[in-house]
Amino acid sequence: MVADERFVNPDDVETIKLDWGTLKWLNAPDVTGAEEFSAGVVVLEPGKGHERHTHPDSEEILYFLSGEGEQTVADEERSVGAGEMVFIPSGVEHSTINTSWEPLRFIAVYGPPGPEAEIRDLDDAEIFPPGEVPNA
């Protein structure tokens, strides 16, 4: 994809599959040319999630679309669901766990971009080209 797109279809960007779910970065420097923030759709499979981690140089927003989960930010733990948003300051430990029987879907936004590239480079990340569907 050319890095100056304005309208992005999910079928036109790669899919990243990890042991806990999948991601599609719909706004990132290599997709739209964005410089100030990145954004993507994350799907956590039932009972899965990612361990506590930080993004030292980026703030993060999570906006929950569907499903239910447990969100930890620093020492605070809360149940989250559709319509809720979580703000995570730079350098603050956090984790997200799907506590439901159905996928937990949310939009993740990083400002500035950077963590999305780190996720793509994880050893267990499997990259599927645009239009290709990951195996279940």
Phi-psi region of 67 (alpha: psi -120 to 50; beta: other; left: phi over 0): left
Neighbours of 70 (CB within 10 A): 16
pTM greater than 0.85 (yes/no): yes
Structure confidence by residue, pLDDT tens digits, 100-125:
999 999 999 999 999 998 888 888 99
Topology of the domain comprising 14-105: Jelly Rolls (2.60.120)
User: Among candidates 60, 11, 55, 13, which has minimal Cα distance to 32?
Assistant: 13
Would you state the pLDDT for residue 2?
Answer: 54
Would you state the pLDDT for residue 120?
Answer: 87
Structure confidence by residue, pLDDT tens digits, 51-62:
899 999 999 999
Parallel/antiparallel/unpaired status of strands 38-44 and 104-111: antiparallel
